[in-house]
Amino acid sequence: MRRWVKTLALLAVLALLVAACAQDTEETTTTAAETTTTAAETTTTAQTTTTEGMMEVATDVGVTAEPCPGGDPDRGCIYLGVLTDESGPFAGAAPGLYAGQQLFWGTVNAEGGIGGAYDVALPESLKKDTQYDPAKFVADYNQIANDVAAVAQSLGTPQTLAALPDYARDNTVAAPMSWWSGWAFEDLVLEFGTGYCFEAMNAIDWAVGAVPAAGRELNTIGILEFPTDYGFDYAAGVKTAAEANNITVSWEETVIPVSAGGDPAQVEAVAKIVSDTPDLVILVTGPSETAAIVGGAAQQLGASVPLFIGSSPSWNRALLASAAAPAFQSGIYFQSSFTAGWDYDSVGHEKMRTAVAAIGADPNDFFVSGWVSQYALRAALESAYEAGDLTKEGIKNAALALTEVDYEGMMPPRSFAGDPNDVYPREATVGGYSADATTGIEVIQDFFVGSTAADYVFTEACAK
């Protein structure tokens, strides 16, 4: 009987996700919101609950003995919150990220949930559009703080940093949708993949060999970055690797996101590339800015256009439907990443592709990020359950003790216990355009650690 209940529950979850997986949008709008931040009184009185046939487990916030809506009636429910960006610079990513996380947990639930005793739910009621605004982010977190055992998606570096005091107040563990290197030094943040800084070091080390092999010189670099921890951290890695490889950083310029009032055509950024053309341009932007910059530079410079490497969040497949598509298809754009894209061969990727196909959604790499972001949180919940303590403090203690999180081949396993210089992952991949790749980018350099990243002494965030 339970097998049929699990199957029906998964099908119900998958059916509900169809609407969430709309095609990525290229243009987004940020609306300033008036926010009031009120500290939530989080109830931390532990209770002991027992699900039928299962062990006694201490719980407090966000864990119920009652089943999840549509879940296995013989299991309790663990509720996770989602703090995302549905109307800021990464609004195009939001549907895929959220759906990828829902699909991950739907698959976990179908495989037995947490300890066979709890399903996990990320309901719409616990998902907030923070508009990529730190103040609204904190206010939104406090609205759901008393209802979640952990936060499955904490999108944005400045936003998550703003919420850290409240996360600490509540013992709330969060999985960030951000790759700032400083997360290595924050106990409550279960980051996944390497940080922007190491991703950038590896990208430059790769380019040192790949660019000359393609018949081009690599003596100068230009950097275009968002004025955030995201931009600054990646740029710090670029500059570290450039110095290690005797490459000159000719210039470093700020790019204002289109959603924050930036120029949709990115005229100033394109003009900088045209007037002072480096051998390689690094883009630490969002997809809309990437399209305008690469397309505009290619149009004005023709055969003299430089090569480009974009950071992980700079790309989405919708760019191949934009006016800049011919520039990307010409082979001048490359993509660094903390993980491998849609078509990668791993157990985790295959599970993800199967789940996405079941809801009839179009593939995109945001599903990958959403899915892979949950492995460490799953490991923490499983460890906490085995310890008989699914309170927020119990989940935090379990997270701090994780020694090997298995990502089912989607990225190398890693530890969260120990000195960051010893355990923090430094691997990254590099991708390039391919007409045969489902999302337009295929891995051309599998997970590797370049010499700069390997030698880097990691004692604090690359950019603070």
pLDDT of res. 244: 98
Cα dihedral sign, 344-339-424-308: positive
CA of residue 300 relative to chain centroid, distance: 33
The stretch 308-325 carries a mean pLDDT of 93
**Mean pLDDT computed over 390-407:** 97
Residue 370 lies in a domain: yes
Q: In the chain, pLDDT over 70 holds for what percent of residues?
A: 88
Per-residue pLDDT at 54: 59
Instruction: Say which residues have a Cβ less than 8 Å from residue 111's Cβ, sequence separation at least 6.
Output: none
Chain-centre distance of CA 313, in angstroms? 8
Angle in degrees, CA 250, 315, 242, rounded to 5: 25
Same domain, 239 and 277: yes
Co-location of 292 and 438 in the same domain: yes
* Arithmetic mean of pLDDT, 398-419: 96
Domain match, 236 and 251 both: yes
> Which residue has tokens 């295959």?
350
Q: Has residue 441 been placed in a domain? A: yes
306 with 274, same domain: the answer is: yes
The stretch 300-306 carries a mean pLDDT of: 96
- Count of CB atoms within 10 A of residue 279's CB? 19
Answer whether residue 311 shows pLDDT above 50. Answer: yes
Residue-number span of the structural domain to which 174 is assigned: 2-18+54-194+343-423
* Bigger pLDDT: 200 vs 316: 200
In this predicted structure, what is the pLDDT of residue 89? 80
- Angle between helix 157-170 and helix 229-244 axes, rounded to 10 deg: 110
Q: Which tokens in the block code for residue 419?
A: 């000195």
157-172 confidence digits (pLDDT tens): 889 999 999 999 999 9
- Read off the CATH number of the domain in which 182 is found: 3.40.50.2300
Q: Are 382 and 331 within one domain?
A: no
pTM equals 0.85
- Residue 10 forms part of a structural domain: yes
Looking at residue 283, what is its pLDDT? Answer: 98
> Which one has a higher pLDDT value, 153 or 1?
153
Predicted local confidence at residue 436, as pLDDT: 95
Average pLDDT over every residue of 281-308: 96
Of 462, 460, 457, 446, the closest CA to residue 206 belongs to 446
65/171 same-domain check = yes
Q: Is residue 27 part of a domain?
A: no
Distance (Å, rounded) from C-alpha 314 to C-alpha 440? 13
Residues 372 and 406 in one domain: yes
330-344 average pLDDT score = 95
Q: Which of 47-51, 87-91, 101-105 has the highest mean pLDDT?
A: 101-105
Asked whether residue 106 is domain-assigned, the answer is: yes
Tell me, yes or no, whether 47 lies in a domain. no
- Range with the poorest average pLDDT among 10-14, 40-44, 142-146, 292-296: 10-14
- Secondary structure, 3-state, the chain: CHHHHHHHHHHHHHHHHHHHCCCCCCCCCCCCCCCCCCCCCCCCCCEEEECCCCCEEEECCCEECCCCCCCCCCCEEEEEEEEECCCCCCCCCHHHHHHHHHHHHHHHHHCCCECCCEEEECCHHHEEECCCCHHHHHHHHHHHHHHCCEEEEEECHHHHHHHHHHHHHHCCCEEEECCCHHHHHCCCECCCCCCHHHHHHHHHHHHHHHHHHCCCCCCEEEEEECCCHHHHHHHHHHHHHHHHCCCEEEEEEECCCHHHCCCCCCHHHHHHHHHCCCCEEEEECCHHHHHHHHHHHHHHHHHHCCEEEECHHHCCHHHHHCCCHHHHHCCCEEEEECCCCCCCCCHHHHHHHHHHHHCCCCCCHHHHHHHHCCHHHHHHHHHHHHCCEECHHHHHHHHHCCCCECCCCCCCCECCCCCHHHHCCCCEEEEEECCCCCCCEEEEEEEECCHHHHHCCCCCCCCC
pLDDT exceeding 90 applies to what percent of the chain?
Answer: 82
Residues 249 and 328 in one domain: yes
Asked if residue 201 and residue 128 are part of one domain, the reply reads no
Q: Say yes or no: 6 and 114 in one domain.
A: yes
Structural domain count, the chain = 2
pLDDT attached to residue 28: 33
Structure tokens at 154: 């904490």
pLDDT digits (tens, 9 = 90+) for 412-441: 999 999 999 999 999 999 999 999 999 999
Residue 103 forms beta bridges with which residues? Answer: none
Domain check: are 326 and 434 in the same one? yes
What are the phi and psi torsion angles at 77 (to 5°)?
A: -140, 135
Note whether 158 and 218 are same-domain residues: no
Question: Quick check: is 33 in a domain?
Answer: no
For the stretch 179-219, pLDDT in tens is 999 999 999 999 999 999 999 999 999 999 999 998 999 99
Mean pLDDT, all residues of the chain: 89
- List the single range of 90-94, 266-270, 420-424 with lowest mean pLDDT: 90-94
Residue 25 belongs to some domain of the structure:
no
Q: Which amino acid is at 307?
A: L
Structure-token pair, residue 352: 């993800």
Phi-psi region of 71 (alpha: psi -120 to 50; beta: other; left: phi over 0): beta
Residue 5: pLDDT above 80?
Answer: no
pLDDT at 446 over 70: yes
**Has residue 30 got a pLDDT over 50?**
no
The answer to whether the CB of 140 falls within 8 A of the CB of 342 is: no
